[in-house]
């Protein structure tokens, strides 16, 4: 359903790209004729803009037609004719078409029209559908911090810096069902991060730096936000805790005025673990032990097994998380790539022995990933990116398919 | 919020994201950024009219102060300290953002905003209202928003000579024209910046700046136009051409003949050779004040040398004039430019004597443009004392206004240059704004980078 919605939007954008240039063609032709009258003109064209050759040819033909219809006879190799040099130029916001009109012995006259540039055609890069698959959940102009699917293919909640919005998905379209503001007494830190999770007893919980919000259990949708430090849920704690709807997650405390976790973790049972300050973490449960991976604020990936903290040379981005699936070894780490361009990618890894090994092709994103969280159900993750082509924020579900 | 259709300016900001050595992609808090710059402003007050405009000065202003509005990369006005605005006739009412504090901890109020704007614009009628300020002047809404976005209209709380802003960094130590120490404002309304501090050394030559960068004594420096091609492109960012290099006559022409001689000089200058040889191909040759990317019609003003026409014009006028062309003794490029122009002029029968003293008939001028065409043209017209009939209007009116300024005979455009910066590889997420100033608000340094 979401895929159809996305394709429909893309189709509209492509359809809108077939620009009708006839109005500015006639406008410029009128301005030229106002300067030349019906005297013979010698016409030349130059495309100085980013318009493609085909478009420039269409415009040239249109202008010739408009001029011919208004009276002046277009001649070639006639020294007595008025020369009209038309340039298709542009500035930051518009196409600018300029006609330089030169009569012999007179000062050059200039006519111009300005055509606001339409929004460019957006295009998406296809992911490589191997083991790791991405599907678009939501797209909007306002920043997205996280998305929670409340009912599969039917209802989802979008966390933005100032509000939570709940949408109903119907027949390829979406409708805002309700929304609520997030109250926070202090300005948000830069590189704002947040987490939204569906719950069983009330609709959802929201975690933001120094603020936690619970939605109302009954009646009109509202958020009760408190300024307090509680652990943010990160991922499913262990094999016994996994499963649809499971809320048994490992948590970690988030530094209220920064963009990282303090390094103090909690888990079901109440135990605490002190680790380096980190941006993201992943837990892999193996037959005999548990391995933690941390994207620490020192820029390195730490691998913690028992009490041993080992620095790795992994070239991952600052965001990764773990999911539990029925594929492969049963646990995978989904890791972003180190930033080197405006795009990003996510790849799945397993840790059979000492070091992680890739188990999927990288899935490409047309923008940097700003959030990567394991979903409440534990077998998939939500990745949020800012699309550098459209400027929109987009949230994707990432899931691993077996046997690909 | 009412959003204006003011549609101008601005190249896309160039975002720098060098390859993170350790794979770190999320911004890291901490670190002190060391900047060197050529400008040496004697005051940090954005409204101080006696301090020459420069990109360095604009950079400092943007770190400490905020304006009420700004323009995004697509030339649309965006809220900053004003979160909405409404125009009615000749009045613009700007609703102020709540919970904004100056660096001294005091609240930004309509009174403090009005006081700042009044000092910066004595001709405006600025009224403080309960949650907003209203401004009355003869500018249309678009024009007034463009004015409010200029650095000189940043909101400043002036308290017994002490300056307080609302920007991401606060002043810690300031030695006029030499160095400036800034610290992150923990309570910044947009969130604390990632960097802990910024240290700025001023009055440094381009050569010294590059040496400091190479030796690790500086993290971010300016690059001379002629050095852009020799700099590692991965750690460099440039604006679109936004600095006008021009010949600026001290006085207007005293007769039509003198005006024709100035046209002769313009026709004699081989701008392409100057760009290709002296500037190593950097920048664009210019016959217009406004660059083509800003106006879309800049090419109409020819920048081509035409020696035949120049000699023809010169032949119609006698006696031969003798002009002194001045250059800055601090800028080696200026001297080369002056010498080359004198050589070109001689070919057309004009005699120019180069001098580094202030008593020159014309001089090589470096004129920073603003991010919008009308504000740029207005600023140049103000500086050179040329008439400007309108301050805002259509594209055709802009063209007519630019023609009038050029016809004054006070200025001969030569080149439009980009402004370029280079940084060490560990500095992430820095950008160059459309007005060629640095955007360091979200810059961060990789761990272990210094």
Per-residue pLDDT at A343 = 84
Least confident of A81-95, A336-350, B301-315: A336-350
> Nearest 5°: phi and psi at A90?
-165, 155
Helix (H) or strand (E) holding B35: strand B32-36
Question: Number of CB pairs < 8 Å for A and B?
Answer: 135
Which has the closest alpha carbon to B133: B96, B108, B107, B80?
B96
> Could you tell me if A54 lies within 8 Å of chain B, comparing CB atoms?
no
Per-residue pLDDT at B13 = 36
> Could you tell me if B297 lies within 8 Å of chain A, comparing CB atoms?
yes
Q: Which residue shows structure tokens 């250059």?
A: B327
Per-residue pLDDT at B23 = 59
Chain A residue with Cα closest to B191 = A189
Expressed in percent and rounded to 5, the helix, strand and coil fractions of chain B are: 30, 25, 45
**Does residue B319 have a cis bond before it (omega within 30 degrees)?**
yes
Averaged pLDDT, A149-158: 92
CA distances from B300 to A50, A96, B186, B292, B304 (A): 18, 12, 50, 9, 11
Per-residue pLDDT at B450 = 59
* A290 to chain B, closest Cα gap in Å: 24
Least confident of A39-53, A343-357, B126-140: A343-357
Helix (H) or strand (E) holding B237: strand B236-238
Per-residue pLDDT at B68 = 97
> Could you tell me if A48 lies within 8 Å of chain B, comparing CB atoms?
yes
User: What is the rounded distance in angstroms from the CA atom of residue A284 to the CA atom of residue A290?
Assistant: 6
Is residue A111 packed enough to be buried (19+ CB in 10 Å), middle (13-18) or exposed (0-12)? buried
Supply the mean pLDDT for chain A: 82
Which of B5, B21, B24, B299 has the highest number of chain A CBs within 10 A, making it the mutation to test binding with A? B24
> Could you tell me if A190 lies within 8 Å of chain B, comparing CB atoms?
yes
Least confident of A127-131, A378-382, B233-237, B337-341: A127-131
The 10 Å CB-count burial string (b at 16+, else e) for B276-285 is eebbeebbbb
| Number of other residues whose CB lies within 10 A of the CB of residue A163 | 14
* A171 to chain B, closest Cα gap in Å: 33
Higher pLDDT, A298 or B155: B155
User: Contacts of residue B24 in chain A, CB cutoff 8 Å?
Assistant: 295, 299, 317-318, 338
Helix (H) or strand (E) holding B211: helix B206-214
- Subunit contact A187:B99, Cβ cutoff 8 A: yes
User: In which band, very low, low, confident or very high, does the pLDDT at A271 lie, cut at 50, 70 and 90?
Assistant: low
Written as one string, the DSSP assignment of B303-336 is: ----HHHHHHHHHTS-SPPEEEEE--TT-HHHHH
Per-residue pLDDT at A269 = 59
Q: What is the pLDDT of residues A54-81, one digit of tens each?
A: 888 889 999 998 898 888 888 887 777 8
DSSP 8-state secondary structure symbol assigned to residue B227: G
User: In which band, very low, low, confident or very high, does the pLDDT at A18 lie, cut at 50, 70 and 90?
Assistant: very low
Of A110, A114, A318, the CB nearest to B25: A318
> Could you tell me if A189 lies within 8 Å of chain B, comparing CB atoms?
yes
- Subunit contact A190:B295, Cβ cutoff 8 A: no
Judged against a pLDDT cut of 90, whether residue A361 lies above it is answered with no
Q: What is the pLDDT of residues A204-217, one digit of tens each?
A: 999 999 999 999 87
Pair of tokens at residue B14: 């160039």
Long-range CB pairs of A200-209 (<8 Å, 24+ gap) are A200/A245, A200/A247, A203/A150, A203/A157, A203/A166, A204/A148, A204/A150, A204/A157, A204/A164, A206/A159, A206/A164, A206/A182, A207/A232, A207/A233, A207/A254, A208/A145, A208/A182, A208/A184, A209/A254, A209/A255, A209/A256, A209/A257, A209/A258, A209/A259
Task: Give residues with Cβ within 8 angstroms of A292, minimum separation 6.
Answer: A275, A281, A282, A283, A284, A302, A303, A304, A305
User: In which band, very low, low, confident or very high, does the pLDDT at A268 lie, cut at 50, 70 and 90?
Assistant: low
- The parts of chain B modelled with pLDDT lower than 70 are 1-24, 233-234, 448-450
| A141 Ramachandran zone, left/alpha/beta (phi>0; psi -120 to 50) | alpha
Task: Give residues with Cβ within 8 angstroms of A270, minimum separation 6.
Answer: none
User: What is the rounded distance in angstroms from the CA atom of residue A56 to the CA atom of residue B211?
Assistant: 48
CB B200 within 8 A of CB B218: no
Least confident of A172-176, A182-186, A333-337, B137-141: B137-141
Which of residues 120 through 179 in chain A touch B, CB cutoff 8 A? Answer: none
CB A285 within 8 A of CB A219: no
User: What is the rounded distance in angstroms from the CA atom of residue A132 to the CA atom of residue A363?
Assistant: 7
Q: Which residue shows structure tokens 């980009």?
A: B418
Pair of tokens at residue A335: 């890791």
Half-sphere exposure of B231 (CA within 13 A, CB side): 30
Provide the Cα torsion B368, B370, B374, B378; round to 10°: -50
Averaged pLDDT, A115-126: 46
Per-residue pLDDT at A403 = 60
> Could you tell me if A183 lies within 8 Å of chain B, comparing CB atoms?
no
């Amino acid at each position: 359903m979401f895929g159809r919605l996305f394709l429909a939007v893309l189709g509209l954008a492509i359809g809108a790209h077939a620009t009708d240039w006839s109005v500015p063609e006639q406008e410029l032709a009128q301005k030229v004729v106002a300067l030349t009258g019906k005297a013979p003109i010698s016409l030349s064209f130059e495309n100085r803009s980013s318009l493609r050759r085909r478009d420039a040819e269409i415009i040239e033909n249109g202008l010739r037609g408009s001029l011919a219809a208004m009276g002046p006879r277009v001649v070639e190799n006639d020294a007595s004719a008025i020369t009209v040099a038309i340039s298709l130029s542009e500035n930051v916001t518009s196409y600018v078409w300029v006609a330089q009109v030169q009569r012999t012995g007179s000062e050059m006259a200039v006519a111009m029209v300005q055509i606001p540039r339409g929004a460019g055609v957006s295009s998406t890069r296809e992911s490589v559908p191997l083991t790791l698959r991405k599907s678009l959940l939501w797209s909007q102009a306002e920043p997205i911090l996280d998305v929670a699917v409340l009912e599969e293919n039917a209802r989802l909640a979008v966390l933005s810096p100032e509000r939570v919005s709940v949408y109903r998905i119907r027949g390829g379209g979406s409708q805002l069902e309700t929304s609520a503001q997030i109250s926070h007494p202090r300005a948000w830190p830069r590189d704002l991060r947040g987490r939204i999770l569906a719950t069983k007893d009330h609709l959802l919980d929201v975690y933001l730096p120094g603020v936690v919000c619970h939605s109302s259990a009954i009646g009109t949708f509202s958020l009760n936000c408190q300024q307090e430090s509680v652990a943010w849920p990160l991922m499913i704690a262990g094999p016994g805790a996994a499963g649809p709807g499971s809320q048994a997650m490992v948590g970690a405390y988030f530094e209220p005025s920064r963009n990282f976790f303090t390094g103090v973790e909690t888990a079901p049972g109440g135990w605490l673990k002190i680790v380096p300050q980190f941006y993201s973490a992943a837990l892999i449960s193996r037959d005999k032990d548990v391995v933690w991976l941390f994207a620490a604020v020192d820029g390195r990936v730490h691998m913690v097994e028992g009490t041993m903290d080992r620095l790795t040379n992994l070239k991952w981005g600052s965001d990764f998380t773990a999911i539990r699936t029925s594929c492969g070894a049963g646990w995978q780490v989904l890791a972003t790539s180190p930033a080197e361009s405006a795009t990003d990618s996510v790849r799945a890894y397993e840790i059979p022995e000492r070091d992680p090994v890739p188990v999927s092709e990288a899935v490409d994103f047309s923008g940097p990933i700003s959030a990567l969280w394991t979903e409440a159900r534990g077998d998939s993750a939500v990745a949020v990116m800012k699309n550098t082509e459209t400027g929109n924020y987009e949230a994707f579900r990432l899931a691993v398919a077996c046997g690909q | 919020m009412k959003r204006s259709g003011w549609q101008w300016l601005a190249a896309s900001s160039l975002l720098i994201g060098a390859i993170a050595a350790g794979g770190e992609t999320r911004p890291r808090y901490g670190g002190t950024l060391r900047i060197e710059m050529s400008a040496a402003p004697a005051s940090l007050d954005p409204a101080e009219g006696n301090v020459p405009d420069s990109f360095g000065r604009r950079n400092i202003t943007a770190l400490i102060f905020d304006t009420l509005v700004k323009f995004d990369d697509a030339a649309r006005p965006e809220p900053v300290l004003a979160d909405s605005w409404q125009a009615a006739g000749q009045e613009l009412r700007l609703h102020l953002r709540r919970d904004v504090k100056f660096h001294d901890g005091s609240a930004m109020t309509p009174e403090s905003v009005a006081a700042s704007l009044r000092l910066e614009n004595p001709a405006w009628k600025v009224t403080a209202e309960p949650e907003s300020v209203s401004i009355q002047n003869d500018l249309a809404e678009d024009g007034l928003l463009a004015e409010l976005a200029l650095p000189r209209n940043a909101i400043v709380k002036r308290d017994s000579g002490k300056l307080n802003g609302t920007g991401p960094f606060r002043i810690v130590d300031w030695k006029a024209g030499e160095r400036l120490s800034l610290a992150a404002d923990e309570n910044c309304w947009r969130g604390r910046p990632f960097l802990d501090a910024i240290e700025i050394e001023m009055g440094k030559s381009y050569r010294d700046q590059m040496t400091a960068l190479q030796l690790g004594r500086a993290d971010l420096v300016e690059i001379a136009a002629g050095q852009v091609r020799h700099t590692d492109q991965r750690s460099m960012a440039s604006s679109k051409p936004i600095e006008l290099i021009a010949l600026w006559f001290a006085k207007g022409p005293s007769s039509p003949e003198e005006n024709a001689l100035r046209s002769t000089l313009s026709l004699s200058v081989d701008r392409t050779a100057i760009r290709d040889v002296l500037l190593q191909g950097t920048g664009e040759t210019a016959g217009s004040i406004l660059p083509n990317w800003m106006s879309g019609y800049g090419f109409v003003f020819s920048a081509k040398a035409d020696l035949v026409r120049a000699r023809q014009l010169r032949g119609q006028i006698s006696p031969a004039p003798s002009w002194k062309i001045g250059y800055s003794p601090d800028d080696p490029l200026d001297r080369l430019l002056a010498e080359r122009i004198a050589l070109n002029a001689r070919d057309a029968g004009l005699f120019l004597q180069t001098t580094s003293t202030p008593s020159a008939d014309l001089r090589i001028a470096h004129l920073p443009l603003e991010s919008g065409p009308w504000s740029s043209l207005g600023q140049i017209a103000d500086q050179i004392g040329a008439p400007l009939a309108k301050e805002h209007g259509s594209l055709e009116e802009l063209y007519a206004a630019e023609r009038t300024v050029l016809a004054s005979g006070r200025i001969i455009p030569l080149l439009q240059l980009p402004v370029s910066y280079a940084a060490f590889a560990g500095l992430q997420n820095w950008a160059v704004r459309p007005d060629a100033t640095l955007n360091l608000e979200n810059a961060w340094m990789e761990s272990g980078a210094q």
